[in-house]
Structure 1
């Protein structure tokens, strides 16, 4: 909470990350290497309404907006707990993530199994 009694920006970015990590890695297929090498390349957050402590736990809907050779974009809609899924979201965000090889410290192409896994989430 910030001085205006709503969830502040730094906390919102952390909440998006806390939702994204288990969602992307919920499938334990050994052929999906995203859990071992993925970096955040871009982040956009738009605030459309206020979220307060009493609105938690927040409902965060996520999907893949764009899937390319090296990166993908995750879309988010954040609503107060119990808000109707078709109600206007309080927060709309995107994060662009790139596949990354930790050993070589370079971007890498997404593997076919990774692309297949991410493609399953193209529709929200």
Structure 2
């Protein structure tokens, strides 16, 4: 919470990350390479309503909105606990994630396994 009694912007970005990491990498899926080689390339957060401490735990819905050769974009909708899934989200956001080879320090192409997993979550 910040001084204005709602979830602080920096904390919201952390909450998006905390939702994203297990969704993408739980049980080694899609591949060990992605777990070890992705970078956040872009982040947009839009606040459409206030979220307060009493609105927790928050519901965060995620989907893939764009899938390209070396990157993908995740769309997020954040709602207060118990809010209807078709209600207007309090926060919408996107993150662009690029596949990255740590050894060479360069972008790399997504593997077929990675693309297949991500395609399951296309909007």
TM-score range with shorter-chain normalisation? over 0.9
Alpha-carbon RMSD:
1.2
Structure 1 segment 77-96 matched on structure 2, within 5 A: 77-96=77-96
Provide Cα deviations, 1:75-124, integer angstroms capped at 9, x if missing partner: 0000000101001000000000000001111110101111011001003x
Could you state the TM-score of these two structures normalised by the residue count of structure 2? Answer: 0.96
Count of residues in Structure 1 that have an aligned counterpart in Structure 2 = 123
Structure 1 segment 1-124 matched on structure 2, within 5 A: 1-29=1-29, 31=31, 33-123=33-123
User: What displacement does 1:29 show?
Assistant: 4.5
Please give the alpha-carbon distance, in whole angstroms, between the structure 1 residues aligned to 2:29 and 2:37. Answer: 15
Secondary structure of 1:95's aligned partner: strand
Please give the alpha-carbon distance, in whole angstroms, between the structure 2 residues aligned to 1:40 and 1:82. Answer: 30
Unaligned runs of 5+ in 1: none
Q: Considering fraction of residues, name the structure with more helix.
A: 2
Unaligned runs of 5+ in 2: none
Could you state the TM-score of these two structures normalised by the residue count of structure 1? Answer: 0.95
Please give the alpha-carbon distance, in whole angstroms, between the structure 2 residues aligned to 1:77 and 1:30. Answer: 23
User: What displacement does 1:26 show?
Assistant: 2.2
Contact kept? 2:65, 2:74, Cα under 8 Å: yes
User: What displacement does 1:31 show?
Assistant: 4.1
Contact kept? 2:59, 2:79, Cα under 8 Å: yes
Please give the alpha-carbon distance, in whole angstroms, between the structure 2 residues aligned to 1:110 and 1:79. Answer: 31
User: In structure 2, do the counterparts of structure 1 residues 7 and 30 end up closer, same or farther at CA, with 3 Å as the change threshold?
Assistant: closer
